[in-house]
Amino acid sequence: MRRKKFLKIAGIGTGVLAFSPWLTSCITDNRVRSGTFSNKLPLPNEIRETAFELTASHADVKLTEELHLSGLQFNESIPGPTIRQNRGDDLNIRFKNEIGQDSIIHWHGLIVPPEMDGHPRDVISSGTYEYQFGLNQRAGTYWYHPHPHHITGEQVYKGLSGFFIIEDDEEKALNLPDGQYEIPLVIQDRRVNDSGEIVFNPSMPEQMMTGLLGDLILVNGMPSPYQEVEAGVYRLRILNGSNARIYNISFQDEVPFTVIGTDGGLLPEPIETSELLMAPGERADILVDFSKADSSSIQLISKPFEVPSGGGMMGMQNMMGSDGPEQGAGFSLMEFRIEGESQRNSIALPDQLSEANFPEATSADQTRPIQLDMQMMAGHTINGRQFEMERVDERVKQGDTEIWEFINNSNVPHPMHVHAVQFKVLERSGNRGLIPTETGWKDTVLVMPGETVRVIMKFDAPKGLYVFHCHNLEHEDNGMMANLEIV
Ligand code: C2O
Ligand code: CU
Ligand code: CU
- Please, which pLDDT band fits residue 33 given cuts at 50, 70 and 90? very low
> Are β-strands 68-74 and 216-219 bridged in parallel, bridged antiparallel, or unpaired?
unpaired
What is the per-residue pLDDT for 136?
A: 95
pLDDT class of 7 with cuts at 50, 70, 90 = low
Taking the CA of 152 as reference, the closest ligand is 1
With CA atoms as reference, report the closest residue to 55 among 135, 162, 185, 133: 162
**Share of residues in the chain with pLDDT > 70 (%):** 90
Cβ of residue 149 lying under 6 Å from some atom of ligand 1: no
Indicate whether 90 pLDDT > 70. Answer: yes
Strands 297-302 and 331-341: antiparallel
**CA 309 to centroid of ligand 3, rounded, Å:** 14
The closest alpha carbon to 73, from 94, 49, 50, 97, belongs to 97
Atom of ligand 1 nearest to the CA of 109: 1
245 lines ligand 1 (CB under 6 A): no
pLDDT at 23: 30
Look at residue 466 in the predicted model and tell me its pLDDT.
Answer: 98
| pLDDT (0 to 100) of residue 324 | 67
C-alpha to C-alpha distance for 90 and 92, rounded to whole angstroms: 7
Dump pLDDT digits (tens) for 192-226.
Answer: 998 889 999 888 777 778 999 999 999 999 999 99
Q: Quick check: 156 and 145 in contact, CB under 8 A?
A: yes
pLDDT in tens, 399-426: 999 999 999 999 999 999 999 999 999 9
Phi then psi dihedrals of residue 114, to 5 deg = -55, -40
CA atoms within 13 A on the CB side of 400: 16
Q: Which residue has the higher pLDDT, 476 or 342?
A: 476
Secondary structure string (H, E, C) spanning the chain: CCCCCCCCECCCCCCCCCCCCCCCECEECCEECCCCCCEECCCCCEECCCEEEEEEEEEEEECCCCCEEEEEEECCECCCCEEEEECCCEEEEEEEECCCCCECEEEECCCCCHHHCCCHHHCECCEEEEEEEECCCCCEEEEEEECCCCCHHHHHHCCCCEEEEEECHHHHCCCCCCHHHEEEEEEEEECECCCCEECCCCCHHHHHHHCCCCCEEEECCEECEEEEEEECEEEEEEEECCCCCCEEEEEHHHCCEEEEEECCEEEEEEEEECCEEECCCCEEEEEEEHHHCCCCEEEEEECCCCCCCCCCCCCHHHHCCCCCCCCCCCEEEEEEEEEEECCCCCCCCCCCCCCCCCCCHHHCCEEEEEEEEEECCCEEEECCECCCCCCCCEEECCCCEEEEEEEECCCCCEEEEECCCCEEEEEECCCCCCCHHHHCCECEEEECCCCEEEEEEECCCCCEEEEEEECCHHHHHHCCEEEEEEC
Residue 328, pLDDT > 50, answer yes
Q: Is residue 32 predicted with pLDDT exceeding 70?
A: no
pLDDT tens string 130-172: 999 999 999 999 999 999 999 999 999 999 999 999 999 999 9
Do the Cβ atoms of 285 and 278 come closer than 8 Å? no
The answer, yes or no, to whether any atom of ligand 1 lies below 6 A from the CB of 191, is no
Parallel, antiparallel or unpaired: strands 51-62 and 68-74: antiparallel
Cβ-Cβ contacts under 8 Å for 339 (sequence gap 6 or more):
228, 229, 230, 231, 296
Tens of pLDDT, residue by residue over 366-399, are 999 999 999 877 789 999 999 999 999 999 999 9
| Model pLDDT, residue 325 | 82
- For the residues 31-36, what does the mean pLDDT come to? 50
pTM beyond 0.85: yes
User: Would you say the CB of residue 147 lies under 6 angstroms from ligand 1?
Assistant: yes
> Does ligand 1 lie within 6 Å of residue 417's CB atom?
yes
Instruction: Give the ligand at the shortest distance from the Cα of 409.
Output: 3
Do 457 and 423 contact (CB within 8 A), yes or no? yes
Is 80 exceeded by the pLDDT of residue 30? no
> Does the beta carbon of 146 lie inside 6 Å of ligand 1?
no
- Atom from ligand 1 closest to the CA of residue 118: 2
Find the 350 Cα to ligand 3 centroid distance in Å.
Answer: 37
User: How many whole angstroms from 317 Cα to the centroid of ligand 1?
Assistant: 24
Give me the chain's average pLDDT, please. Answer: 90
C-alpha 265 – ligand 3 centre gap (Å): 24
- The 10s digit of each residue's pLDDT in 260-317 is 999 999 999 999 999 999 999 999 999 999 999 989 999 999 999 999 987 554 444 4
Residue 128, amino acid:
T
* Ligand 2 centroid – CA 480 distance (Å): 14
145: nearest Cα among 175, 120, 181: 120
Ligand nearest to the CA of 374: 3
pLDDT over threshold 80, residue 469? yes
Q: Return the residue whose CA atom lies nearest to atom 3 of ligand 1.
A: 108
Q: Which of 156, 111, 150, 107 is nearest to 387 (CA)?
A: 150
**Cα 108 to averaged position of ligand 1 atoms, centre (Å):** 5
Span from the CA of 161 to the centroid of ligand 2 (angstroms): 12
How distant, in Å, are the alpha carbons of 54, 330, 460, 461, 469 from that of 113?
19, 40, 11, 7, 18
Model pLDDT for residues 173-185, shown as the tens digit of each residue? 999 999 999 999 9
Ligand 1 nearest-atom number relative to CA 145: 1
| C-alpha 227 to ligand 2 mean position (Å) | 29
- Return the ligand 1 atom nearest residue 468 CA: 2
Reported as a pLDDT band with limits 50, 70 and 90, residue 323 is low
Cα dist from 34 to 8, 31, 335, whole Å: 12, 9, 11
Structure confidence at residue 209 (pLDDT): 86
Average pLDDT over residues 239-257: 97
> What are the beta bridge partners of residue 481?
469
Tell me, using a 6 A CB cutoff, whether residue 237 lines ligand 1: no
- Residue 229 scores a pLDDT above 50: yes
CB 419 near ligand 1, within 6 Å: yes
In the prediction, which pLDDT does 110 show? 98
